Chain A
Amino acid sequence: MLPLEELKSVIQELLPGVPLDLEAGSLLVSSKDLITVCRCLKNTERFSLDYLANLTVVDYPPERMEVIYHFYSMLKKHGPVALKVKVEREKPSVPSVTPLWRGAEFQEREAYDLFGVVFEGHPDLRRILMWEGFKGHPMRKDYIVEDQDAVETLSP
């Protein structure tokens, strides 16, 4: 696989007018350009990133969250390419990549469930690990476990 610097310049050649940045070994794109960049990564013969290995969210309170994608290519056996999207923490929302990679379906649902990031265009965005009707998003850094008593009564 290409080094990140080159990868960035190649993508910028293919997609003029899309701002790209590099940060800690990953490509940084804005959420409105995400689908364009993803389609380019997936369909350009040179990259052929046909396999979305990992999708997750990192929470940085108080203002931002990062959605991170790890792509590999099963065809060319190269990778990974890490892609990052920064979103606002108040109303986090990114376009869903499920139409491009089915593998994102459950992982996006998990990210929605645990972090509250809304993936627009997801076919079936429901909670997956927590039950329906659960309030809050337990993986957020400021989430407070309500029932602390159970732990306290145990300590002698």
Chain B
Amino acid sequence: MSTAGELLEVSLGPQHPSTHGVFRMNAVLDGETIVKLKPVMGYLHRNHEQIGEGITYIGSFPFTDRLDYFSAMSNNFGLAIAIEKLGGITASERGEYLRIIMAELTRLVNHTAVTGFLLNDMGAFGTPLLYAFREREKILDLFEAASGSRMMCNYVRPGGVRQDVPEDWLKQAKEIVDHYPHFLDEFEKLLTENEIIRQRAQNVGVLSKELAVNASITGPMLRASGVDYDIRKVDGYSLYPRFSFRVPLGSVGDVYDRYYIRILEMRQSVKILQQALKDIPEGPAISPKGAAMGKAPRTFRPAKNEAYGRIEAPKGELGFYLVSDGSPQPYRYHVRAPSFVNLTVLEDLCIGHKVADAIIILGSIDIVLGEVDR
């Protein structure tokens, strides 16, 4: 380990399986230790915001599916919350329940998949990822039965959901949700106690509490650093205050905590889902105002106003900032993407670690390039 050695510049990505898409890390290495790392993004940039300014509010929904394509339902939910704020629309009660069920199922899908990918990055090729995908597929089948599409759901609308769920759907969902803790037990047996994972992940990429708050980190990554901030609790949007659940917190803020916090969050999501599936009332799935808006998008012309709506998406705070000028199209449509902002600290986390650690640190941040680049 000599510092006199020559520094080597390595470009990790953009075409590299470990970068979860087309993402590049320009790393400067001293031996195998990272001394500098600059993320380069934008390869998937399609100016989602400008597209959103050219179409109606409803027209943006299918595009939000493609932001974070692992959690389409949550993205729809975020935009719906922002539009409801802007236009003063209230949602029907059954609609709210269905949205919460969908959002929490999405959280299960996302956290399961990202845990699998993280393990893939660590070198456990295939096995944990396929175990994760096996379970994820069951939930995606539920999404298909309700919305018609596995991933690009385009289902949640301002005022509720587009269509009520089909018959027996709630029963099927209940079965899958009730089975989920067994899967999590199995998954944990496979991974949590595994010494190799502990060696690889513990005390790697430690994110301090102060830096996490200062760098606007949100979601599981923030809570892994021990900051108690969950928008479901803080804002209490939708009907979340009705459900009892806890916010798991990490203590160290390393990669291992970020892995484990996701497992714990899934257990809490299962708890919310069980309550929601039990209590869901009968009634219309969408409020009349929302239904009218879905049927004729151009009739929705909110008065000159602006709104910032945010939800706790699986990756963190997903915010939509809308400015209306009285026309059917938003004057300004901005997406505050959680994985984009969470990448701010990538360099801080990687410095001083080995190249192989940079890969798992990136994996533990949980980015989806559709959302980073927008």
List residues of chain A with CB under 8 Å of any chain B CB: 24-25, 50-54, 56, 58-59, 68, 70, 72, 74-75, 77, 80, 82, 101-107, 110, 114, 127-131, 138-139
Contact = CB atoms under 8 A, between A and B. Distances in A.
Contact of B229 (A77, A80, A107): A77
Contacts of A77: 229, 234
Given A80-B308, A101-B216, A114-B47, 5 more contacts: A54-B321, A58-B323, A106-B344, A107-B336, A128-B41
B47 A102 contact: no
Contacts of B323: 58
| Secondary structure call for the B interface | mixed
B7 interface: no
Interface string B296-337: 000000000110101000000101010100000001101010
Contact of B341 (A107, A127, A130, A131): A107
B324 to A, nearest CB: 11
A74 B229 CA distance: 6
Nearest to B319: A54
Contacts of B41: 128-129
Interface residues of B, number: 34
B321 A102 contact: no
Given A106-B341, A106-B344, A50 B45 contact: no
A54 B344 contact: no
A105 B41 CA distance: 14
B78 to A, nearest CB: 12
Given A54-B319, A101-B214, A74 B227 contact: yes
B333 to A, nearest CB: 10
A53 B217 CA distance: 9
Given A68-B321, A131-B42, A139-B47, A82 B216 contact: no
A128 B42 contact: yes
A58 B344 contact: no
B348 to A, nearest CB: 9
Interface string B344-374: 1100000000000000000000000000011
